[in-house]
Structure 1
Amino acid sequence: MESTANQSVTMKACILRVCPCDLLVCDLCTSQEVLVHTPQACCFRVGQKVCIEYSGAMTMSIPPQISADSICPMNCC
């Protein structure tokens, strides 16, 4: 995870599961599974590596949850 100037955080992750409004991903830095809420979930596929920008806020649930501000394929970030 890395912070950008506008205080958002970028997570590089691999997609484990795709649901209509959520992605289950594995954070490539920490190997932690994270549930990502996004209306763009159906645009991605299992196994795809992505960059996820979010506010930095993460729930303490299992798995932790975040709301994505934007998601793009890793080769575009």
Structure 2
Amino acid sequence: MELETCRNNDTVMDTVMIARILRAERCQLLVCDCATNQEVVVHADNACCFSCGDCVCIRYSGAMTMSLPPQISATCVARHCGN
């Protein structure tokens, strides 16, 4: 299945996270942020399209909860091709 790529709307300043998926569930992912090695729960409608080990590009508002692990709501999640 080909996944739609995330497009950045010029009027919205999204924060981008490149992460490796640790666990994929129905509407959420547990990922490890490649930049910080921090585990983050990502709420995303298309979470079930991904598998453990996938590298993804996550766009979100920049808001992150202070819970452990922190949580974000993605505006877009797509496979990341870079290494």
Gaps of 5+ in 2: 1-7
Gaps of 5+ in 1: none
SS of aligned partner of 1:75:
coil
- The TM-score, its normalising length taken from structure 1, stands at 0.89
Segment of structure 1 superposing worse, 47-56 or 4-13: 4-13
Deviation of 1:71 after TM superposition, in Å, equals 0.6
1:62 match: 68
SS of aligned partner of 1:60:
coil
Instruction: Tell me whether 1:19 sits opposite 2:44 in the alignment.
Output: no
Aligned residues: 73
Deviations 1:50-71 (A, max 9, x none): 0000000000000000000001
Instruction: Tell me whether 1:44 sits opposite 2:50 in the alignment.
Output: yes
Identity fraction in percent: 53
Query: Which structure has the larger Rg?
Result: 2
Deviations 1:24-52 (A, max 9, x none): 00000000000000110100000000000
Query: What RMSD in Å do the two structures reach over aligned CA positions?
Result: 1.5
Work out the CA distance in 2 between the residues paired with 1:11 and 1:66: 11
| Off by >4 Å, runs of 4+ in structure 1 | none
Amino acid of the structure 1 residue aligned with 2:28: D
* Structure with greater helix percent: 1
Amino acid of the structure 1 residue aligned with 2:18: K
Work out the CA distance in 1 between the residues paired with 2:27 and 2:13: 24
